[in-house]
Amino acid sequence: MNILGINAVFHESSAAIVVDGKVVAACEEERFTRIKHGKEARVDNPQALPENAIRFCLDYAGLKADDVDFVAYSFEPKLRRTKFHADWWPDSRLEADFLRSLDAVDDAVSKVMGRRIGKALKFTPHHLAHAASAFYPSGFDQAAILVVDGIGEADCSMLARGDGLRIKTLETFTYPHSLGFVWEHVSVYLGFSAYDASKVMGLAAYGDPEVFRQQFAKIIRIGEDGYAVDPDAIGFQSLEPRGLDALFGPRREPDGEILPHHMHVAAALQAANDAAVIALLRRLEHTVGGERLCLAGGVALNCVTNALISRMSAFSDLFIPPAPHDAGTAIGAALVVHCAQPGASRPSGGATPYLGPEFDEREILAAVKAAGLKPHKCKNAAREAADMIADGNIVGWFQGRMEFGPRALGNRSLLADPRRPDTRAILNRRVKHREDFRPFAPSVLAEHAEEWFDIGPPSASHEYMLFACAAKPGRADRIPAVIHEDGSARVQIVRRASNPRYHALISHFYERTGVPLVLNTSFNDSEPIVCTPAHAIATFRGAGLDALFMGDIRLTSET
């Protein structure tokens, strides 16, 4: 049975294909269109579909439109109508247009597929899709599930239980009680975009959460039963977060100077988020119990909160998928539909991030020729790249299938020497063209990870760069380029079985330097992560990289 999953109603538009219960391919639309988050206009055009991602998934699986048995869409319009009150929304007219246009989703899907879909189109509740994207790939037979994001149809957080093929919703927190929306509004207040929660998370390490703790207590109220958000305090009724001006003073303008004041706001938000999520977990522990926990939703990208969960919760085994944000609901929706079929088997394959396009040497050489560059064929690309990194070069590493999710995990990565104190500034200013406070992550060999970082309870999700881990005593000074202001690092553990070529590169670097890790950041420059060889070459040139390795083909700045 072939099931196409689609996420398109909000952001991170994406598609996935599940064949007989196995996740075969998944990709975000932004990687093809080069428009961040897949699309910008949602309320006025929510039926716009990730057409490029859909075509890739079908092509990779060797399927035609007629071969698709079901199309799973990670939003349920009827649930929106029954649970969400339009007068809560800043513009009820736009909300009405939103609901009317969702009725045209089946027409849009049919148009893209080239055939009538009809009853084969299955609308899946958004938070159920989030939950499925985590529980089914986790490998757990039973688990507690927590979903925390901006909003689905009306829910903003969900407590659930997974058992075999079944996911049961236990409790929901509906709008306006949205931690995700608080992050969006504070991001805008601090002069970033609504999508820049990761910037705010990085900035928080520089601030003191006590400075504005009382102000945030007015926005997010924490209790034994969970949390509640005061929409008036933050200003949810307006598209502009003016309520925050009253609490914290005038907002920062985009590109304005970042002051200690802004750092303290970010720190207080991080502390409030930690407390709210831990309160939800306490409630989930009392309701479900057990040893295993699955986490999903956009807030599950917060590596600081995730580390706190791993240390403080009663759950000893935690799984977070590589794409816990909205993109992952394309996988989740398809898995929900699969598990609903009579005689369905347990799904497989959704835990790996390497689900996107890949390119053979012929395609790589064609892109190099089109760019007018001279390629060099490597005898051992991993060793050559490791030597260049150890010599202080910044290297583009383009290998195998592209990652699904927001993290570059060794197939579409920029790599550098973590030992050099100036590496971080060079990358932020010369290559990535972003704020100086932004940190970079270490990719560390699994065999040596616990020697260098306080990893905490083991989890497969440590391979997805989803936890902030403190450096072990005496280690931070040796790798200053990947240590954040608070002494932590967003660690990616690299296992030979999961990514043998990347593991080989880091192993060669370790042999050369005695340090079993490299600095890893996404292969992009103020754009979505590169997808094709042509994208990689363009960024290689534009960002002034020292070298680019695509498969066994090497380009250098001299070619």
* DSSP codes joined into one string, 31-51: HHH--TTS-S--TT-TT---H
The answer to whether 509 and 518 have CB atoms below 8 angstroms apart is yes
pLDDT at 102: 60
User: pLDDT digit string (tens) for 366-416?
Assistant: 999 999 999 999 999 999 999 999 999 999 999 999 999 999 999 999 999
Say which range, 42-46, 210-214, 236-240, 379-383, has the weakest mean pLDDT.
42-46
Interstrand relation of 22-28 and 14-19 (parallel, antiparallel or unpaired) = antiparallel
The one catalytic residue among 11, 126, 484, 535: 11
Q: What are phi and psi of 22, to 5 degrees?
A: -105, 130
Question: With the CA atoms of 465, 405, 163 and 319 taken in that order, what torsion angle do they form, in degrees rounded to the nearest 10?
Answer: 0
- First vs last C-alpha separation in the chain: 48
Residue boundaries of the structural domains of the chain: 2-73+77-123+325-339, 179-319, 361-556
Average per-residue pLDDT for the chain: 92
Backbone angles phi, psi at 252, to 5 degrees: -80, 135
Q: How many residues does the chain have?
A: 559
Percent of the chain with pLDDT over 90: 82
Predicted pLDDT at 96:
55
Dihedrals phi, psi of 5, to nearest 5 degrees: -100, 140
CB-neighbour burial class of residue 289 (10 A; exposed 0-12, middle 13-18, buried 19+) = exposed
Helix residue ranges, H only, 340-415: 361-370, 381-390
* CATH node for 361-556: 3.90.870.20
Q: What is the CA radius of gyration of the chain?
A: 23
pLDDT band of 558, cuts 50, 70, 90: confident
Question: In angstroms, rounded to a whole number, what is the distance separating the alpha carbons of residues 444 and 361?
Answer: 28
Cα of 390 vs its chain's centroid, Å:
29
Pair 494, 373: CB distance under 8 Å: no
pLDDT tops 90 at residue 198: yes
**2-73+77-123+325-339: which CATH topology?**
Nucleotidyltransferase; domain 5 (3.30.420)
Task: Please say if 503 is a catalytic residue.
Answer: no
CB 155 within 8 A of CB 127: yes
* Mean pLDDT in residue range 443-465: 96
Average pLDDT over residues 506-535: 97
Across 130-154, average pLDDT = 96
Q: What is the pLDDT of residues 95-113, one digit of tens each?
A: 555 555 566 777 888 888 8
Distance, CA of 482 to CA of 464 (rounded, Å): 16
State mean pLDDT over 287-312. Answer: 94
pLDDT attached to residue 394: 97
- pLDDT score recorded for residue 44: 46
Contact 11, 42 (CB under 8 A): yes
pLDDT for 43? 42
Tens of pLDDT, residues 300-310? 999 999 999 99
Asked whether 517 and 445 are in contact (CB, 8 A), the reply is: yes
Same fold, 2-73+77-123+325-339 and 179-319: yes
Q: What are phi and psi for residue 452, nearest 5 degrees?
A: -110, -25
CATH of 179-319, one of 3.40.50.2020, 1.10.3720.10, 3.30.420.40, 3.40.50.620: 3.30.420.40
Average pLDDT over residues 184-211: 96
Which pTM was predicted?
A: 0.95
Other CB atoms within 10 Å distance of the CB of residue 106: 19
